[in-house]
Structure 1
């Protein structure tokens, strides 16, 4: 996990610019300095974001698995040429146990493609971003396929500046294999949007 520590040092020297912006499905808008954060405030997706309760337990950790690749690119959309599958937007916040948002937290994602394969020679479906001033992140990706022996999941590492790294996995509700997966924890279930569009989910990370 040393590469995440390296990016943490990047936070320490204060050279990070935090930016955010709404991403329409199918677009690949990059984060740029000066983007208006109000677009996240008014985004209807926030209605499905899990509520934060004071005293919430820290998000459980899970193994990084065998397919972590260091030094992923900074981006909030993992969709690029050659990536096929059902598009998915995941939003949420990074907070501490008293519901205080953690800005400039590193959130690093990696996952399998729609066929259940990981890109171990490049950075397809891999990328990191930093939370905005209100602790929010927004990821555009696809629903991962089933990796042999595992249930559907997305890997994540989260780190506040100068703090330990949380490495965990996010799971999908109503998956037949959840109950038999050795790493499954219902606390790590994505909260899926129950209304249209249904390709949207939310999860809040709570750091100790």
Structure 2
């Protein structure tokens, strides 16, 4: 999890022998940088095999990546809260003309249990405006998107305002193809209210930096999705649908009805159907009637 808040002021730790502990970056940290640069992960830096998906860059087929063992536990869940609304529009920017507030870009990746990126992951964000208010009538500061082929996402929004009882935070629902929904919240480092908010979890801290008059944040989701280390982002099941009108590659709008396996479903959020997003598997997108 990306929870680095910068310099802590602590004295350097040492091992039982008095030597400094291993400070090499985690596999995921190196992989994240490699994905962002679209190059092979620097194997020498890690002392572990690179991803097989880097073969196209190096011309060789490296060994498989070991399973995660560097503390990257699944991202912890948190309560949904009272302000979630289904049917948010599909968009990666929540900004509108004249939107007040400090601009914020949140980017990152979705990984599975073997440190491999997950494509096609649904991320549904919602947050308060600059005054700490939620739009419960329309869809201001609400929107969903999917991770791309590299498992990456990017959200353009503003730094949310404060309201009584809570520290600054973003809400998000995350769902890999055919897997349960993870509902959680993301937090900002060095916020005074972090110490008084009963829901605050330091494992959900984003890495945030100032960029002129705006801010940039990073967070990687680790989902409880079984993976076998191998090439490429994971994909959902490709079993043909057991009869019905639902079809891969079709763009569905909210309210559209389809049949799948003898059951009728109504679309909750606009999306393009893909393998792994069969109606029974994604309650965030389809509701059985």
Superposed pair shares fold, TM > 0.5: yes
Cα separation, 1, equivalents of 2:163 and 2:196? 14
In the alignment, structure 2 segments of 5+ residues that lack a partner are: 1-34, 39-66, 225-289
Instruction: Give the aligned CA root-mean-square deviation in angstroms.
Output: 1.9
Report the secondary structure of 1:101's partner residue. Answer: coil
From 56, 64, 84, give the equivalent of 2:80.
64
Helix, strand or coil at the partner of 2:192: coil
Aligned partner (choices 206, 212, 223) of residue 207 of structure 1: 223
- The corresponding residue for 1:73 is 89
Alpha carbons 1:88, 1:199 under 8 Å: kept: yes
> What residue in structure 2 maps to residue 114 of structure 1?
130
Q: Say yes or no: does 1:161 pair with 2:145.
A: no
Q: Which portions of structure 1, spanning 4 or more consecutive aligned residues, are displaced by more than 6 angstroms?
A: none
Cα distance per residue 1:35-60 (max 9 Å; x no partner): xxxxx8459xxxxxxxxx92310000
2:109·2:151 contact (CA, 8 Å) conserved in 1? Answer: yes
Alignment of 1:69-148 (within 5 A): 69-148=85-164
Tell me whether 196-205 or 140-149 shows the greater mean CA deviation. 196-205
Runs of at least 5 residues in structure 1 that lack an aligned partner in the other structure? 1-39, 44-52
Instruction: Provide closer, same or farther for how the CA distance between residues 41 and 105 of structure 1 changes in structure 2, counting only shifts above 3 A.
Output: same
Q: Tell me, in whole angstroms, the C-alpha distance in 1 between the residues paired with 2:37 and 2:213.
A: 17
TM-score by length of 1: 0.73
Would you say the 8 A contact 1:83–1:113 is kept in 2?
A: no
Whether the 8 Å contact between 2:90 and 2:143 is mirrored in structure 1 is yes
Number of corresponding residues: 160
**Whole-Å Cα distance in 2 between the matches of residues 134 and 147 of structure 1?**
36
Deviation of the 1:193 alpha carbon: 2.5
